[in-house]
């Protein structure tokens, strides 16, 4: 082989190429047909690899796991998800006053792990001009919305233009929750407390956990309302979970709490906590523990609902569903926890008490740290907003509840997850 002249090798290669060209056939302009076919196939592959960008908008007021699941489904329809957050003024004009202002809603949406980009002050209805802006400036391929109708005050479909343009895709609405429903739970708490403040047994938490309003034992007020129709499944937990554990040398940070009515204050303390390590483990106390510590009308959201809201946060790696109140040495060893943290803004300062300090063990081990909370917001803050403006929210909820009842009455199966 080493004695073969280079000239012969080159000639042989040319001959093979020529023969192959004749075998495949020669296309116009002298380009071998096979080569043209290959280039065409390569072009199709490249086109298939085009990044698909999808858009979903919303008010995202009182953001909950239903919103997060919608964003998860939307993201699954493309490669990048752009989310439009409607302005306060647009919400007031179309629905009534929002519970959470725009800057808090922006924090919440940006923290959802399926969101790639956020547009602030998006319009409530997609106008022709805004739709062109989405297509031309943001390179949006499809506009996404749930199977529940979004009707404007004039009775028209907010997504009619997108549907006509053939750039609309529909996802499945998450069962058993809505902002209207959550506001209703808080309003019910206010009514129950005012009617029967002295009855320690009339725990609405019992209703939340069972998923239905029911006549309370022990002489309760007997209020009957739809509290929650959420049906927790193992599949939903898997969909929201990262599915990855910490590495062998990971610095694991632990933070616990109720995380009820998951809000911007929660998001920001989780962000700070995550920055102190490689893996953030969040402990969620069960409903009975919260009720005992915070009062019979808490929590507003049950344990499964709270778990999904926290799991959807991009700063969270894993959740302990029903974490113990006290952080024990065995728990620290089991999860290989490097640091236990607690925010300065919280519903209670139980850990500061001399007796019954739930963080006594990590404090004794020198692995406990109090973090300065970026925002002065608690679950009580959100409830007070509802109470302060309860008449407006009562009226809004009456209107929204009627439309939701109509949706559920006409509801049909929609494929999706």
- Report d(CA 390, CA 382) in Å as an integer: 12
Greatest CA separation for the chain: 105
SS3 203: coil
322 in the Ramachandran plot: left (φ > 0), alpha (ψ -120 to 50) or beta?
left
Same domain, 60 and 34: no
Same domain, 374 and 301: yes
Nearest to 261 by CA among 86, 59, 62, 409: 62
Asked whether the beta carbons of 221 and 294 are under 8 A apart, the reply is no
Nearest to 27 by CA among 39, 13, 42, 45: 39
pLDDT tens for the chain, 417 residues long, are 445 454 444 455 444 443 444 444 444 444 444 555 555 655 655 556 789 999 999 999 989 999 999 999 999 999 999 999 999 999 998 888 899 999 999 999 999 999 999 999 999 888 999 999 999 999 999 999 988 777 776 777 888 889 999 999 999 887 666 777 787 777 776 655 544 444 433 333 333 333 333 333 333 333 333 355 677 789 999 999 998 999 999 999 999 999 999 999 999 999 999 999 999 999 999 999 999 988 888 899 999 999 999 999 999 999 999 999 999 999 999 999 999 999 999 886 666 665 789 999 999 999 999 999 999 999 999 988 888 877 666 666 565 555 556 655 665 665 666
For residue 196, being part of any structural domain is answered with no
Q: How many domains does the chain have?
A: 3
- Report d(CA 359, CA 375) in Å as an integer: 23
Length of the chain equals 417
Same domain, 27 and 67: no
What is the pTM (predicted TM-score) of this model? 0.77
For residue 280, being part of any structural domain is answered with yes
- Report d(CA 264, CA 111) in Å as an integer: 9
> Which domain does 282 fall in, by range?
237-379
- Characterize the bridge pairing of strands 252-257 and 337-343: parallel
Same domain, 38 and 74: no
- Report d(CA 315, CA 297) in Å as an integer: 29
For residue 410, being part of any structural domain is answered with no
Same domain, 100 and 154: yes
Same domain, 142 and 11: no
């Amino acid at each position: 082989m080493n004695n073969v002249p280079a000239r012969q090798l080159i000639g042989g290669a040319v001959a093979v190429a020529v023969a192959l060209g004749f075998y495949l056939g020669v296309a116009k302009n002298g380009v071998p047909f096979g080569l043209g076919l290959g280039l065409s196939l390569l072009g199709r592959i490249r086109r298939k690899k085009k990044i698909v960008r999808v858009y979903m908008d919303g008010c995202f007021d009182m953001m909950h796991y239903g919103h997060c699941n919608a964003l998860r489904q939307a993201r699954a329809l493309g490669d990048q998800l752009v989310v439009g957050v409607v302005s306060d003024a647009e919400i007031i004009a179309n629905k009534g006053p929002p519970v959470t202002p725009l800057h808090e809603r922006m924090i919440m949406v940006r923290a959802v792990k399926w969101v790639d980009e956020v547009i602030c002050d998006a319009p409530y209805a997609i106008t022709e001009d805004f739709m062109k802006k989405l297509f031309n400036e943001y390179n949006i391929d499809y506009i996404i919305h749930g199977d529940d109708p979004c009707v404007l005050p004039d009775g028209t479909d907010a997504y009619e233009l997108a549907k006509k343009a053939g750039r609309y895709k529909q996802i499945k609405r998450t069962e058993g929750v809505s902002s209207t429903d959550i506001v209703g739970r808080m309003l019910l708490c206010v009514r129950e407390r005012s009617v029967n403040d002295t009855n320690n047994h009339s725990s609405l938490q019992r209703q939340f956990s069972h998923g239905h309003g029911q006549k309370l034992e022990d002489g309760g007020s007997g209020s009957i309302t739809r509290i929650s129709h959420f049906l927790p499944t193992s599949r939903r937990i898997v969909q929201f979970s990262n599915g990855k554990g910490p590495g062998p040398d990971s610095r694991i940070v632990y933070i616990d709490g109720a995380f009820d009515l998951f809000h911007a204050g929660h998001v920001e303390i989780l962000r700070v906590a995550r920055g102190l390590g490689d893996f953030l483990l969040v402990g969620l106390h069960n409903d009975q523990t919260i009720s005992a510590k915070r009062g019979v009308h808490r929590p507003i959201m049950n344990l499964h609902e709270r778990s999904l809201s926290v799991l959807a946060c991009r700063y969270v790696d894993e959740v302990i569903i029903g974490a113990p109140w006290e952080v024990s040495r065995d728990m620290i060893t089991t999860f290989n926890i490097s640091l236990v943290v607690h925010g300065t803004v919280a519903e209670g300062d139980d850990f500061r008490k001399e007796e019954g300090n739930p963080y006594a063990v990590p404090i004794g081990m020198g692995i406990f740290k109090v973090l300065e909370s970026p925002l002065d917001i608690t679950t009580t803050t959100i409830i007070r907003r509802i109470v302060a403006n309860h008449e407006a929210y009562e009226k809004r909820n009456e209107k929204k509840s009627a439309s939701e009842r109509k949706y559920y009455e006409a509801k049909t199966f929609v494929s999706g997850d």
